[in-house]
Amino acid sequence: MKIKNICCIGAGYVGGPTMAVIAKNNPNINITIVDINADRIAAWNDSDLSKLPIFEPGLAEIIKSNRNKNLFFSTDINTAINNSEMIFISVHTPTKTYGKGKGMASDLKYIELCARNIAEVAKTDKIVVEKSTLPVRTAETIKSILHNSGSDFKFDILSNPEFLAEGTAVNDLLNPDRVLIGGESDEAIECLANIYKSWVPQEKILTTNLWSSELSKLTANAFLAQRISSINSISELCEQTGANVNEVAKAIGMDSRIGSKFLHASVGFGGSCFQKDILNLVYIAKSYGLNEVADYWEQVILMNDHQKRRFSDRLIKTLYNTVSGKKIGMLGWAFKKDTNDTRESAAIYVTDHLLNEQANISVYDPKVPHNKIQTDLNYLNTRTEDENEAGVSTSSSPYDALKDAHAVAIMTEWDEFKTYDWKKIYADMKKPAFIFDGRNILEKSEMEKIGFEYYSIGQ
């Protein structure tokens, strides 16, 4: 099958950057990204590139070069499906909040809706590519829907999981460690592989069966999150023994069998994938009766939750065991730097804990607006929307956000935080002035010279 047209269902953090890079490297293929969210599609089509719904370094330039040439954004889902030979499914697969598997299993209702829509609309053979992060054997569900649709057309199912890190997604796509394609049809696999071969070396394109591909994505995220929870558990021990977690991490990271990546102690990991994928892995293990396996991986989540709670507890204890009525300046709301994604950000949960102690929170983040911060807090459903509005303010300036604050909590490792005039910030804060560096990005000795009481993770 010759691929001339691609449809991607889902214009989010995966679909947008992935299709943009594919379009950049395959000028002879027309790519249409579709979504039911008209506002999101309008943002992708906005001539003002600063209004793109997703912030990723390098993405705006690719959109500018390819949009309306071979890269299109539309709400006309049915037309895009019908006109395409290959369809990527890149929709949200959140953790279930209801019924069986609540709190652990992935909610696949959007995946099922996509499969049913494809079955209803398709008038030619299609290659359907799973791009969303999915539980192992989800392809079986898609196959069942498509193959029992009563259609005479052929549907080949492929698994092509993404391995992107937000904040470096464009570079990860342009220079991937590997591209993984799982499937049962050699012809379909080759069609997708040929698209990637336009810029990815052949030796980096790995093919497997469907189930290995699906499970590999969950396992990769679980292993990465495990490393973060492991070093965070050691950070607590360091604080009790007088060791320095950065020195410990450097020492063990120089072991070639271990390596240095994902050994940076912090207030905890966030993002859309790590927690969701581990919970999914736990649920799968439990569903097969593998309780010891489930318990092992669940501990990664428990340690991450503990680290966030430990951070806020330490702040409260240090501020004389009360933050009631005190202003806490919070730098960063995104779960990591160079992204506007806030899903499962540690800042949300630390703020929630501090609000329960009647603190006043003042937030500055260079890419996250006030309404998104309020939405994140309201989603927790621990207070009324009015209470969240009253307890949390935002500012367009870090200096305004920290003025008259009793303490600063650094929640995101934005590079700009290192360049601030910390002498001015200190002068404008209540005394004694405290910094709680949840990302270990500032120099303790320099902050203490200014006059701050400085607390970091694992030091």
Catalytic residue numbers read 162, 217, 273
Q: Tell which residue, 402, 383, 382, 386, has the closest CA to residue 394.
A: 402
How many Cα atoms are found within 13 Å in the side-chain-facing hemisphere of 427?
A: 5
d(CA 116, CA 113): 5
Element (H, E) at 367: none
C-beta atoms surrounding 275 within 10 Å? 21
Cα(205)–Cα(191) distance, rounded to whole angstroms? 12
Burial of 379 per CB tally in 10 Å (0-12, 13-18, 19+)? exposed
SS3 156: strand
Burial tier of 305 (Cβ tally within 10 Å: 0-12, 13-18, 19+):
middle
Adjacency order of strands within the sheet including 327-331:
392-394, 360-364, 327-331, 407-410, 434-437, 453-456
Tell me if 249 sits within 8 A of 231, measured CB to CB: yes
Concatenated DSSP letters for 418-457? GGS-HHHHHHHS-SS-EEEETT--S-HHHHHHHT-EEEES
CB 413 within 8 A of CB 345: no
Q: Are 191 and 127 in contact (CB under 8 A)?
A: yes
How far is 265 from 438, CA to CA, in rounded Å? 9
Measured CA distances, 449 to 410, 423, 444, 446, 454 (Å): 19, 10, 9, 5, 10
Instruction: Give one DSSP letter per residue of 321-348, joined into a string.
Output: T--TT-EEEEE--SSSTT----TT-HHH
Cis amide prior to 201 (ω within 30 degrees): no
Of residues 177, 181, 166, 192, the one with CA closest to residue 87: 192
Closest CA to 377 of 342, 402, 328, 330: 342
Q: Quick one: tokens of 438?
A: 């949840």
